[in-house]
Chain A
Amino acid sequence: MNELNRRNFLLRAGTGLSAAWVSANWPALLSAATHAQNAAKAATPPKFEFFTPEEAVEIEAITARIIPTDDTPGAREAGVVYFIDRSLATFGADDQKTYREGLPDLQARVKEMFPSVSKFSGLAAEQQDKVLHSFDESSNATRRAFRARPVAQNFFETLRQHTIAGFLIDPDYGGNHDGVGWKLIGREREHVFQAPFGYYDKYYPGWQPVVKEADEK
């Protein structure tokens, strides 16, 4: 999938844009090709590396409440559980403990709140939300990407952030399967854009010096 996008970029660079642009961009084209290769290596794994299949079912059920499936795809369709699994097995290994300890805690809470059910995935959606609300600290954890991140945070908050990341990351990097997250928010999957970009700049005539106030009326 990511291959396609990169290929579009390369094709576009070769045909839709001027020869001068292409020559000026030669290093960039090489760079994009490298990206495509890297991305191919980073394809979604067919098997879970960190979660057991049973854990994966539970984690996926939680992600599906964080970004639910309704008339549009949600975390489930975006393959968020695969993204998280791969993260924990690789760059996100620091969070392994949070998951190893957090999931049993959550299951214990399920039994406490709904004694007849043993697993989160066995609850109805409304019951699942009740369990998650009982963990949600509603803290202002990460406001902006450049703000300091808290050192430690609870399992639900970690999973919430990972779900958002797995849903909205550039599909080249192992989440957001088929770009469903970007489709939802209206972000086109192109590598190159040209003005006009939106509704308000479509008919913008270009910058004009300010008209004298007397002329304005």
Chain B
Amino acid sequence: MKTRMLRAGALAAFMWAGVGRADDAQQPPATAPQHDAAHAAMHDAMQQHMATPPADMAQMPGMRNRAAGDAAGAQEHAREMQQLRDQARERAMKHGAQDAAMARGDDAAHAAMHGGMHQGAGMMGGDSSSQQQGAGMMRNGDMHGGSGGMMPAGGGGMMGGSQTGASGGTTGGTGPSTGTPPGAPAGAPMMK
């Protein structure tokens, strides 16, 4: 029974394939134009996008010439600039860490600084957590914001004596322990 069914299946498959091939045999007039259409379309497309090479692009490799020298010089310059940026970022992060450590200190000399920082921080965030934000800026390596943000009465002093900064500096940042003269940028002595 199984064998009979398998034979019937095989016969059906052969007949199906035969029909398919017979269909294909009748189709060449239909498929050939499609093939030609594809080639014609591709020909048009290639012609449409035919572009000239960029002017004077050809250059024999392995030769030292001005263009190559310029490119190498530009790369060298970019590398040097990147190194300088990295060094500056590292310095700023180190200073930021030092300032943050000072800010966390609890001796009398730093108490005034705390006050100043709260004032300065108030400008940035307006809540007591702003001190941490200032430190965070430095850890992120933001050279300008980081240094300025951590200055005693820094916001005001660095901003050129705005109202908010001036009041901050008066109440906390310009205590005798910091030795910062009123009106002068409180952060200036700490700038490195």
Query: Does B bind A?
Result: no
